[in-house]
Structure 1
Amino acid sequence: MTTVNIGFVTIGATVLVLGLLSVPIKRLWLSGPLIALLLGVLLGPEVVGLISPAEWGTESVLLEQTARLTVAMSLMAIALRLPRGYLRTHVRSLVIVLGPVMVAMWLVSGLATYLVLAVPIWVALLVGAVITPTDPVVASTIVRGPIAERNLPTRMRHFLSAEAGANDVLSYPLVFLAVLMLAHPPDDALGEWLVRVLLLEVLGAVVLGGILGYLAGRVLAWADRSDIVPRTSYLVFSLSLTFTILGATALAGTNGLLAVFVGGLVFRGVISEQEDRDEEEVQEAVNDFFLLPVFVLLGLTVPWHEWFELGWSGVVLVVVVLLLRRLPAFLALGPLMRSVHGVREAAFLGWFGPIGAAALLYANLALRETGNDLVWPVGSLVISASVLVHGVTATPVTRLFGRSVA
C-alpha cells in the first residue's frame, strides 16, 4: 500500500503543479506529457526506485486500461470541442487524411520497421499500425492554451483535433488486420477481419455509440427544460456518459473508443448551446485531470534493457518514423485538402502528428493478442521519442508559424 499511496501523491501533485504552471511551462518549450514522462522515469525502478508498478499488478494490463480510459476522455473532450456539424462540412479533407494519408503513415512506419529491424513483414506492419494514430491526448496540449490560440487559426486547431480523434479510433482495424494475419492463414484472417472487426466491432460501435449519445442528449435536454438538473451535475453527467459507453461497448464486443467519439458527436448535436458550452468546459477539465497519469505510468515502465538491445537500429527507426511517417504525405496531399491552406499549414500539420496514449493502448493490446516481444519495446521507444520531440518543438514552432503568417 505504501507504493500505491506514493503513486497517488506523485500523480496528484503532478496534475496540480502542471495545472497551475501550464503557461510558464509552455514558455520554457516543455509540455505536460513530457514532464510527466520524465517524472515517471525519475521515480521508477531504474533511477530512484521509489515506485514499482509491478507491485500493482501486470504492467501491460495496467498500461492498456489506463491508456484506454485516458484516450476515451480525450475523445469525448474533442467531440464536445468541435463545432456542430464539423465532420460533415469538412468531409473532403477528413476523407483524405483518414484514407490515403493514414494508410501511407501505416505503410511507411511498417516498411521502416521491416527494413531497419529485419523482422517478418506482418510483425513490422503490426508495429506500424500501433504507431500510426495521431494521439488525441498529446494533440490536445498542442492546440489548446493561449500560445496556440494566438498563433494558430481556429480552423487548423479544429482540423488537428478532428483528425486525431478520428484516426485514433480508425487505427483499430489496421492493428487487428496485422494481428489476424499473424494468427491465421490469409483467407481466414481476411474473412474474420471483414466480419468480426469491420462489421461487428466497428460498425456496431458507430450504431451503439450514436444511440447512447442521442439518448443521453435527449435526457439532459429534458432534464434541463424541467429545471431538475443543477449545473454542478454536468460533471457527473459528462463523465458517466463516457464510462457508460465504454462499459456498454465492452459488453457488446464492439470498439469502445470509436463508440465514445461517435456518442460525443451525437450528444453534442442534441443538447442546447448553453448545455453545449457547459459540457465542453466540464469535459476539458476532466480531460486535463486524466491527461498526465498515463505518461507518468509510461515513465515508470520504460523497458530500458530492451531499448539497449535494439541499439542504433532503434535510434535510426525513431528518426525515420518521426521524419517520414506523416510529413511527406501531408505535403503531397495537402493541396487536395480544403481545410489546409498552403504549404506552410501542410508542413505544420504534417510535423505535429504526435504518438502517445493511443499508441500505448494499441502496443499493449497487440502484446496481449500476439505475445510478440518486439511490439512493446519498439512501440514504447517511438512513443517516448515523440513525446520528447513534439513536446519540445510545440511552443517554438507554433510561435514561428504565427510570426510567419503575420
Structure 2
Amino acid sequence: MEYYIAIILALAFFIYSISFRQLARAELTGPMYFVLVGVFMAAVFSSQLKLTQPLDNLLPLIELTLAVFLFSDAAKTRIAVLERSYKIPLILLFVGLPLTFFATWFVGYMLFSNESLLALALVAIILTPTDAALSKGILDAKAVPVHVREAINVESGLNDGLCVPIFLFLFLSWQAGAWLEPLKMLEFVVTEIGIALASAACITYIATRLIHFSAMHHYFEKASSPFLILSLAIINYSVAQALGGSGFVAAFSAGLLFDKLYVRQPQIKLIEQSENIADFFAYLIWCLFGAYTYWQLHSIELTVNKVAFALIAATVVRVLPVLISLWLFNGMNFKDKFTIAWFGPRGLASIVFTLMVIDSDDGLISELAILTILASVFIHGVTTRPIAKSYEHTHSER
C-alpha cells in the first residue's frame, strides 16, 4: 500500500508542476489541489488508511515545517521596508489581530455557550493566524496596489509568530483544566519565551557571522544556499525545544534577527531559493490534512451551529475587525481595505495548532478548526483570481 500512496503523491506533484498555470486559470490553488489529493487518497485506501488517531509519528515533521515557514516568513519581512511603511501592518497586527481573536471567541460563545470559555478561546487562537500562501494570486498580481500586497504579506508573515505564545499559554491552561495562575504565567513567559529568545539571538548572531565570513572568503556555494535557511530554522526550533523553550517562538525570532543582521547579496537569494523546498513539505501537509479531513467528516456530527461557525469564522470575523481597524486610515479606498480584510485565509499554522490539540481533544475544538480551515481553503482559493482580475479592470478604466 505504501508504494501505491507514493505513486499517487508523486503523480500529484508531477501533474501540479506541469499544469501550474492551467490550474491557476481554473482557480484551483495549491492548497485546494493537494487537499483534494489527500481526500482522494483517503477515499481510495479507505480500508487500509484510517487517520482517525492522533498523528504522533508525523507531528515532529509537521512542526518542523511550520518552524521553517515561521523563520522564512519573518526573515523576508524586510524590517527596513516595514520601518518605511509600518502603519498598515502595525494596525493589522496590534488592532486587527486582537479584534479577530475576540470576535472569533465571541461567535464561538454565542453558538456553543455550553462549552468552556477556555476551550473556545483555544479555538479562536487556532483560527486567528493567516497564511499568505493561500492568496498567492493576489500577491503575484501586479495590478493589485503594492501597499495592499505588502500589507497582506507582512501581516501573514508576522501574525502566526505573534499568535504562538498566546496559543501555547491557552493550550497549557486547557490541558491543566483552568486558566494558569499569575505565577505560572510568569514562569511560562520566562521559560518558554525567554529561553527561545536567548537561544535564537545566540544562534542567529553566530550563524550570520559565519555566513558573512564564508561569503567574504568565497567558501559560499550558491547551489547550497537553500539549505542554510532550512538548517537555521530547524536548529533554532530544535535547540529551543531541547532547552525547554518554545521552538516556534525561537524560529520566528531568529527569522526577524536574521533579516536584521544578514547582509544581503543581490546574486544570492537565500530566502527565495529555500521556499520551494519548504513548499514541497507544506503541500505534503495539505495532503495529510485532506486525508485526515476525509475521515473526520465521517465521524463529525454536522450541525447547523458547526457549519455556521466555520463559515462565519472563515469570513466575517476576519473582515469586520480588519475593516474596523482600518476605518480611520485615510490612505486607502474601501476596495483596498476590503481586499486586505478578505484575504486572511487560515493555513499551515492553524493546521499545526489543530494537530497539536487533537491528542487531548474531546472533539469539538478540532472539529471546528478543521471545518473552518476547509471552508477557508476553498472560499479564499476560489475568490483569489476574480478579485485580482477586478483590479485589472479598475486600471484599464483609469
Deviation string, structure 1 residues 43-64 (Cα, Å, up to 9, x no partner): 10x4553861649xx5433564
TM-score, with structure 2 as normaliser:
0.89
Distance 1:16 1:269, change over 3 A: farther
**2:123 is aligned with 1:127:** yes
Q: 2:241 aligns with which of 227, 240, 250?
A: 250
**2:159 is aligned with 1:164:** no
Q: Specify the alignment match of 1:115 in structure 2.
A: 110
CA distance in 2: counterparts of 1:187 and 1:311, whole angstroms? 29
Counterpart amino acid of residue 107 in structure 1? F
**2:51 is aligned with 1:68:** no
Q: 2:297 aligns with which of 289, 299, 304?
A: 304
Contact 2:164/2:249 (8 A) holds in 1:
no
**2:377 is aligned with 1:387:** yes
**2:88 is aligned with 1:93:** yes
Q: CA deviation at 1:6?
A: 3.1
Q: Specify the alignment match of 1:372 in structure 2.
A: 362
Partner secondary structure for residue 353 of structure 1: coil
Q: Specify the alignment match of 1:325 in structure 2.
A: 317
Q: CA deviation at 1:125?
A: 1.5
Q: CA deviation at 1:186?
A: 6.0
TM-score, with structure 1 as normaliser:
0.87
Deviation string, structure 1 residues 215-249 (Cα, Å, up to 9, x no partner): 21211111011111221121222221121112111
Q: CA deviation at 1:32?
A: 0.6
Q: Specify the alignment match of 2:78 in structure 1.
A: 83
Q: Specify the alignment match of 1:9 in structure 2.
A: 7
Deviation string, structure 1 residues 12-57 (Cα, Å, up to 9, x no partner): 333333233222211111101001001111110x4553861649xx
Partner secondary structure for residue 49 of structure 1: coil
Deviation string, structure 1 residues 68-111 (Cα, Å, up to 9, x no partner): 23322323332343335234334443332222211111111122
Q: CA deviation at 1:275?
A: 6.0
Structure 2: 5+ residue runs without aligned partners? none
Q: CA deviation at 1:271?
A: 3.2
Structure 1: 5+ residue runs without aligned partners? none
Q: CA deviation at 1:133?
A: 0.9
Contact 2:350/2:373 (8 A) holds in 1:
yes
Counterpart amino acid of residue 373 in structure 1? G
Contact 1:80/1:279 (8 A) holds in 2:
no
Q: Report the structure, 1 or 2, having the larger helix content.
A: 1
Q: Specify the alignment match of 1:33 in structure 2.
A: 31
Counterpart amino acid of residue 118 in structure 2? W
Contact 2:196/2:247 (8 A) holds in 1:
yes
Counterpart amino acid of residue 403 in structure 1? H
Q: Which moved more, 1:225-234 or 1:340-349?
A: 340-349
Percent identity between matched residues is 21
Q: CA deviation at 1:324?
A: 1.9
Q: 1:205 aligns with which of 193, 196, 207?
A: 196
Distance 1:37 1:333, change over 3 A: same
Equivalent residues, number: 393
CA distance in 1: counterparts of 2:77 and 2:86, whole angstroms? 14
CA distance in 1: counterparts of 2:49 and 2:81, whole angstroms? 44
Q: Which moved more, 1:125-134 or 1:178-187?
A: 178-187
Counterpart amino acid of residue 364 in structure 2? L
